Amino acid sequence: MNRITVLFAAALCLWLASNAAANIEKEVAAHLEQRKELIGKLMLVAQTPATDQLEIVAKADAIRVLGELRAVEAVDVIVREINFRDPFVLSSESIPEKHSPALKALIQIGKPGSLAALKAIAGIKIKAGDQEITAEEMKLISLIHVIHGVEGSDVAEFLLKRDMQKADKAMQFSYERALKYLRDLGNAD
């Protein structure tokens, strides 16, 4: 082959590669836009109140898919739905992740899910002397499961104690209760 043929072949390869890269960039951009639209729609379903069987199943599935997609942008919506239970899960196991799609989704999302759970705990006020487990306390327990599931016992305890030091006096009991639930969870491992 002569030099001109080699140069022509090299130029053709560069041109094909640049066109392929441009096509790949367009495909990636289209994929990312579709993902963004899908996550937006799933977030709407996840935060919509569910009253009948079809709505409950749709809500549970939406939350599960958000977790599978590792949808970081949905963590606040998922945290708000942490007390949502899927009554149609057929399992005799008492594993919380089986019945709480939000708990499982936040663990799947990882560190952003853990950070959102920590942030949510800062807003939960539990009063000393409450004998019954309230919705707020159930939320606290589920959020502790998320932090433990992502961070492990030692890091979760460190993070809770750090946040407890920053909290005002009114929140101290809530953090003490959170640490108790974390220790109970660690002992169950």
d(CA 178, CA 126): 10
Q: Which amino acid is at 178?
A: A
Give pLDDT < 50 ranges for the chain.
none
pLDDT at 4: 65
Q: Which of 163, 172, 67 is nearest to 120 (CA)?
A: 163
Place of tokens 């800062």: 122
How does the average pLDDT of the chain come out, rounded? Answer: 85
Sign for the CA dihedral angle at 24, 28, 30, 31 comes to positive
Q: Rounded to whole angstroms, what are the CA distances from 136 to 108, 141, 149? A: 23, 9, 20
Quickly list H helices, the chain.
3-47, 53-68, 75-80, 96-99, 101-109, 111-121, 135-151, 153-166, 172-188
Estimate the crossing angle of helix 111-121 against helix 153-166, to 10 degrees.
40
Task: Judge contact between 110 and 150, C-beta under 8 A.
Answer: yes
Count other Cβ atoms within 10 Å, centred on residue 124.
17
Q: How confident is the model at residue 84, as a pLDDT?
A: 92
Residue 60: predicted pLDDT: 93
Helix (H) or strand (E) holding 86: none
The two three-digit tokens of residue 9, written as one number:
């072949």
Report whether 78 contacts 102 (CB < 8 A): yes
